[in-house]
């Protein structure tokens, strides 16, 4: 028997409020971060599967439905988004036993783990590239540049209108060709989320320099981090659906340089949307990383 997730708002000390979903009452504490064009509801089935072992929280990130959505693109710079997640963990009681993050949530989790490793005991990344590996591939790998070209489309000033047109017809292909998991009920959840507005989610792309360069003076050409700034010393597992059409498997190459305690689990038959496609596998991977009771 499943129960609906509980809903609550978490107001952070710096004035941002995040709409959260929670499930489970186990001793282990797990925080789950979603990506684009999603929201916290994508973790519902995973949270239900973990309910006996873990107390799970899945916030809607800044700019997503029910959460604070500042108008200024500057408010979506990495330092602000990462500060949100750090404050969530502190509010819930640091450290969490496991931080789980997919897509854009993963980008924030990589940064938080490098900057504030004391906030988590373990990290699980699901199809989200480490920033240094992504920078390398965007510069050096034409296939990744082509796969990421959509990011520049999402930065257009008219992207909201184009994506919303025709019942959000341009957003559905992000999920591939009629995937089995995209049931009528799931479509309704996505539509309800998108209808609240797309500006916040799109501002993540507009605020980031990590996208394919189109001009000689694009920030991507000069962007650099010292290794120490992006090194993650938290024990980290990367779960990767290898059929991801936007984030190619080459992004996994050389991760040990920045993640000394690394395990990589490749899932050949899964895509970027592995959380929907194989929630039992995702929940099982999380369960393996929780502390013994």
Q: Which two tokens stand for residue 35?
A: 């990506």
Q: Is it the case that residue 1 has pLDDT exceeding 80?
A: no
Specify whether the CB–CB gap between 134 and 252 falls below 8 A: no
Q: What is the pLDDT of residues 72-113, one digit of tens each?
A: 999 999 999 999 999 999 999 999 999 999 999 999 999 999
Structural domains in the chain, sorted by start: 6-224+231-288 (3.40.50.1820)
Residue 38 bridge partners (DSSP): none
2: exposed, middle or buried (C-beta count within 10 Å: 0-12, 13-18, 19+)? exposed
Max Cα distance, the chain (Å): 57
| pLDDT tens-place string over residues 249-277 | 999 999 999 999 999 999 999 999 999 99
- What's the pLDDT at 26? 87
Tell me the per-residue pLDDT of 43-81, one tens digit each, with 9 for 90 and over: 999 999 999 999 999 999 999 999 999 999 999 999 999
Tell me which of 52 and 199 has the higher pLDDT: 199
Dump pLDDT digits (tens) for 131-190: 999 999 999 999 999 999 999 999 999 999 999 999 999 999 999 988 999 999 999 999
User: Given this model, what pLDDT does residue 247 score?
Assistant: 98
Task: Record the tokens describing residue 115, joined without a space.
Answer: 């900057």
Please give the pLDDT value at position 2.
64
Interior/surface letters 49-72, b for 16+ CB within 10 angstroms, e for the rest = bbbebbbbbbbbbbbbbbbbbbee
- pTM exceeds cut of 0.95: yes
pLDDT band at 293 (very low <50, low <70, confident <90, very high): low
Q: What does the chain look like in DSSP terms, one character per residue?
A: ---PPEEEEEE-TTS-EEEEEEE---SEEEEEE--TT--GGGGHHHHHHHTTTEEEEEEPPTTSTTS---SSGGGGSHHHHHHHHHHHHHHH-SPBSEEEEETHHHHHHHHHHHH-GGGBS-EEEES---HHHHHHHHHH-HHHHHHTTHHHHHTSTTHHHHHHHHHHTTTGGGG-SS-TT--HHHHHHHHHHHHT-SHHHHHHHHH-S-S---STT-GGGT----HHHH---S-EEEEEETT-SSS-GGGGTTGGGT-SSEEEEEETT--TTHHHH-HHHHHHHHHHHSPP-
- Picking from 64, 101, 18, the residue whose alpha carbon sits closest to that of residue 202 is 64
């Amino acid at each position: 028997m499943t129960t609906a997730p509980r809903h609550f708002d978490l107001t952070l000390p710096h004035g941002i409020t995040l709409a959260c979903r929670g499930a489970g009452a186990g001793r282990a504490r797990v925080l789950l971060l979603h990506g684009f064009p999603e929201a916290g509801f994508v973790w519902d089935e995973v949270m239900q599967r973990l309910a006996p072992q873990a107390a799970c929280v899945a916030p809607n990130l800044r700019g997503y439905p029910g959460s604070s959505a500042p108008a200024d693109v500057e408010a979506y710079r990495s330092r602000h988004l990462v500060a949100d997640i750090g404050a969530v963990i502190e509010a819930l009681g640091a450290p969490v036993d496991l931080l789980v993050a997919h897509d854009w949530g993963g980008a924030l989790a990589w940064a938080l783990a490098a900057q504030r490793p004391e906030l988590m005991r373990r990290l699980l990344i699901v199809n989200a590239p480490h920033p240094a590996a992504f920078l390398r591939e965007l510069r050096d790998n034409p296939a990744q540049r082509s796969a990421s070209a959509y990011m520049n489309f999402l930065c257009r000033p008219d992207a909201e209108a184009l994506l919303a047109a025709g019942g959000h017809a341009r957003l559905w292909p992000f999920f591939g060709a009629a995937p089995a998991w995209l049931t009528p009920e799931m479509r309704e959840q996505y539509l309800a989320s998108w209808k609240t507005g797309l500006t916040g989610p799109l501002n993540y792309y507009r605020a980031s320099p990590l996208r394919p360069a189109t001009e000689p003076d694009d920030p991507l050409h000069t962007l650099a981090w010292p290794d120490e700034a992006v090194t993650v010393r938290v024990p980290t597992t990367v779960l990767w659906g290898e059929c991801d059409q936007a984030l190619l498997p080459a992004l996994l190459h050389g991760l040990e340089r920045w993640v000394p305690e690394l395990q990589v689990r490749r899932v050949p038959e899964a895509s970027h949307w592995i959380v929907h496609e194989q929630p039992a596998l995702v929940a099982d991977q999380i369960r393996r990383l929780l502390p013994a009771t």
